[in-house]
């Protein structure tokens, strides 16, 4: 039997007590603090109840005061507390938010406005470049970026950047923190999202009220990581801070929801802009998961009508091409208060990326890189959707033409489109391209359907007639069904039409 030295025994007891106290400190905060989502310069969503939460010693009475409104609650056994302040309208004032508990916290330069969550993968994560930052003087556009370095306490974020007025320096240093893998210290902070910033800027200009952007994104992430999953909750328990490997979180089911979405969901927001799908190009379940994610987020944010607008992934052969993602996005966009900004006319316009389809002789343009140029066009389209659908600031069509239905009459297919504006037309004045029809025959017993090039013409404000002399009895029709298709169908606002197919072949990526 080993006998411990008395000094070793005493040291062991002291270490044990310190460890115990450390655990208590995580579970039961000894002093008042707000969740890290709250800081000076923040935007609170107007016209909705304002949820404010934080931590204090268990049993402590906590009072929150904002714009002559006051709410009191008591910190629970775990130290967490939460209050809801009645909704307020934009008033152009800079408010003070005061919280009194075991100590007092005062936040200044707090404004009422419109709050949007900017989420997705690399195209949303991509930072604003020097040219954008140079002219970014919009003090009523406020930026917040979540952190993802450690597992936080429940309902809190790990290492966020804090709210900042949008200025050249804050845009340039308002994104994700980059750490030294050896020391764990911050090497630099990336710029804030270029799509998010330009969306917020255009929305702010269109509304004339403060706009707050909460960036919750990570490049290379799959959609499964953005939805709840019990495996992540077991692996990364709240209250036990631990370093995490960020690259692993991209493809870890439930991880990003658990770490950086859930802690944001008590916050009142107007909606979400979503730019993701590149890493799910080969995911046959993407439509199902996208619908599930939208439903789960709406429930988590406590708003079944939460606005959710996504971006069509650009023309790309990345991971086998985006046809399946496009189809999933088009179908999910039919959900209530959902929509999609079309991007199939935005591509690298260098000559080396141009070609002609050998089957149809129609133009192709694209490459493997799923990151398109001209993000300002994408952001503007998102903002226009919101200005029309959410705020009613314009009656101009904000979506590209999208398939609604079709009829087959006398060997011709009559297609009806939504979002035609005052009328469909050809963007370049030439005959409409990239329409194909099939009589239902297949390339082999179980293969995809055989399609042939078709002639198409506008026959009404929102209708197009399609036929082919080679197909007497068409059964299916498709449009722009190629990962690099460069189609020329637009509406009166010159917004390009969204590709579609009417057949039921299991793999949409096979032509």
The rounded distance, in Å, linking the Cα atoms of 372 and 430 is: 26
Give the full edge-to-edge strand order of the sheet including 476-479.
Answer: 452-453, 435-438, 476-479, 500-501
Contacts of 18 by beta carbon, 8 Å cutoff, 6+ apart: none
Two tokens at 451?
Answer: 């399609």
| Among 300, 330, 347, residue whose Cα is nearest residue 404 | 330
- Residue 241 has what pLDDT? 66
CB 170 within 8 A of CB 143: yes
**116 phi, psi to nearest 5 deg:** -130, 140
- Residue 348 has what pLDDT? 79
Place of tokens 């390009």: 496
User: How many other CB atoms are found less than 10 A from the CB of residue 142?
Assistant: 28
Q: What does 374-407 look like in DSSP terms, one character per residue? A: -HHHHHHHHHHHHHHHTT----S--S--EEEEEE
Q: Which helix (H) or strand (E) holds 153?
A: none
Q: What does 167-228 look like in DSSP terms, one character per residue? A: -HHHHHT-S-EEE-TTT--EEEEPPPBHHHHHHHHHHHHHH-S-EEEEEEE-TT--GGGGS-
pTM over 0.85: yes
Sign of the torsion angle spanned by Cα atoms 44, 58, 100, 19: negative
Two tokens at 224?
Answer: 């499964």
Q: What does 275-322 look like in DSSP terms, one character per residue? A: E--GGGTT-TTHHHHHHHHHHHHHHHTT-TT-EEEEEPPPSB-GGG-S
The rounded distance, in Å, linking the Cα atoms of 223 and 283 is: 10
CB 148 within 8 A of CB 261: no
Q: Cα Rg for the chain, rounded, in angstroms?
A: 26
- Would you give the DSSP letter of residue 370? -
User: How many other CB atoms are found less than 10 A from the CB of residue 118?
Assistant: 26
To the nearest 10 degrees (0 to 180), the angle between helices 286-300 and 323-332 is 40
Task: Considering the chain, tell me which residue range(s) the CATH 3.40.50.1110 domain(s) occupy.
Answer: 112-389
CATH code for residues 112-389: 3.40.50.1110
Two tokens at 314?
Answer: 């650009």
Q: Which helix (H) or strand (E) holds 235?
A: helix 230-235
Please report, in tens digits, the pLDDT of each residue of the chain (511 residues total): 333 444 444 334 333 333 333 333 344 456 999 999 999 999 999 999 999 999 999 999 999 999 999 999 999 999 999 999 999 999 999 999 999 999 999 999 999 999 999 999 999 999 999 999 999 999 999 999 997 766 666 788 877 889 999 999 999 999 887 777 677 677 788 899 999 999 999 999 999 999 999 999 999 999 999 999 988 888 888 766 667 788 888 999 999 999 899 999 999 999 999 999 999 999 999 999 999 999 999 999 999 999 999 999 999 999 999 999 999 999 999 999 999 999 999 987 778 899 999 999 999 999 999 999 999 999 999 999 999 999 999 999 999 999 999 999 999 999 999 999 999 999 999 999 999 999 999 988 888 999 999 999 999 999 999 999 999 999 999 999 999 999 999 999 999 999 999 999 999 998 8
User: How many other CB atoms are found less than 10 A from the CB of residue 128?
Assistant: 25
The rounded distance, in Å, linking the Cα atoms of 259 and 238 is: 9
User: How many other CB atoms are found less than 10 A from the CB of residue 366?
Assistant: 25
- Residue 481 has what pLDDT? 97
- Residue 24 has what pLDDT? 33
| Among 274, 36, 70, 48, residue whose Cα is nearest residue 150 | 36
List Cα–Cα distances, 340 to 236, 254, 384, 463, in angstroms: 34, 24, 11, 21
Percent of the chain whose predicted confidence (pLDDT) is above 70: 92
Two tokens at 352?
Answer: 């080396």
- Residue 14 has what pLDDT? 35
* C-alpha 392: how far from chain center: 22
């Amino acid at each position: 039997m080993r006998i411990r030295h008395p000094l070793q025994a005493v040291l062991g007891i002291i270490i044990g007590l310190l460890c115990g106290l450390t655990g208590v400190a995580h579970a039961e905060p000894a002093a008042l603090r707000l969740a890290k989502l709250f800081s000076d310069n923040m935007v609170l969503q107007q016209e909705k109840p304002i949820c404010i939460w934080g931590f204090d010693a268990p049993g402590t009475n906590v009072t929150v005061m904002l714009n002559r409104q006051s709410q009191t609650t008591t910190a629970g056994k775990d130290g967490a507390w939460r209050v809801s302040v009645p909704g307020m309208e934009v008033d152009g004032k800079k408010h003070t938010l005061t919280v009194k508990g075991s100590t007092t916290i005062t936040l200044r330069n707090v404004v009422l406005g419109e709050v949007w969550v900017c989420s997705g993968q690399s195209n949303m994560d991509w930072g604003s470049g020097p040219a954008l930052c140079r002219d970014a003087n919009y003090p009523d556009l406020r930026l917040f970026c979540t952190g993802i370095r450690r597992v936080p306490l429940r309902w809190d974020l790990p290492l966020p950047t804090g709210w900042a007025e949008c200025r050249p320096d804050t845009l340039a240093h308002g994104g994700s923190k980059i750490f030294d893998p050896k020391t764990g210290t911050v090497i630099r902070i990336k710029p804030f999202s270029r799509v998010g910033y330009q969306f917020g800027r255009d929305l702010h200009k269109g509304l004339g009220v403060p706009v707050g952007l909460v960036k919750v994104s990570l490049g290379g992430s799959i959609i499964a990581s953005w939805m709840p999953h019990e495996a992540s909750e077991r692996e990364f328990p709240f209250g036990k801070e631990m370093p995490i490997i960020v690259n692993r979180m991209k493809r870890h089911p439930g991880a990003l929801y658990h770490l950086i979405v859930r802690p944001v969901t008590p916050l009142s927001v107007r909606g979400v802009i979503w730019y993701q799908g590149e890493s799910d190009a080969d995911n046959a379940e993407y439509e199902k998961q996208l619908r599930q994610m939208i439903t789960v987020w709406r429930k988590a944010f406590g708003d079944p009508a939460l606005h959710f607008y996504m971006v069509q992934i650009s023309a790309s052969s990345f991971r086998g091409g985006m046809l399946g993602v496009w189809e999933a996005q088009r179908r999910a966009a039919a959900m209530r208060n959902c929509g999609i900004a079309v991007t199939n006319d935005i591509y690298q316009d260098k000559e080396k990326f141009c070609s002609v389809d050998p089957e149809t002789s129609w133009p192709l343009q694209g490459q493997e890189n799923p990151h398109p140029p001209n993000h300002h066009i994408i952001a503007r389209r998102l903002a226009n959707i919101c200005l029309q659908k959410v705020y009613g600031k314009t009656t101009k069509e904000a979506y590209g033409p999208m398939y609604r239905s079709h009829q087959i009459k006398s060997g011709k297919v009559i297609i009806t489109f939504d979002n035609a504006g005052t009328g469909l037309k050809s963007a370049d004045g030439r005959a409409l391209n990239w329409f194909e029809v099939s009589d239902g025959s297949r390339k082999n017993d179980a293969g995809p359907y055989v399609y042939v090039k078709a002639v198409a013409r506008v026959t009404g404000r929102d209708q197009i007639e399609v036929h082919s002399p080679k197909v007497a009895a068409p059964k299916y029709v498709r449009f722009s069904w190629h990962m690099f298709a460069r189609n020329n169908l637009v509406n009166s606002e010159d917004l390009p039409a969204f590709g579609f197919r009417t057949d039921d072949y299991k793999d949409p990526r096979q032509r």
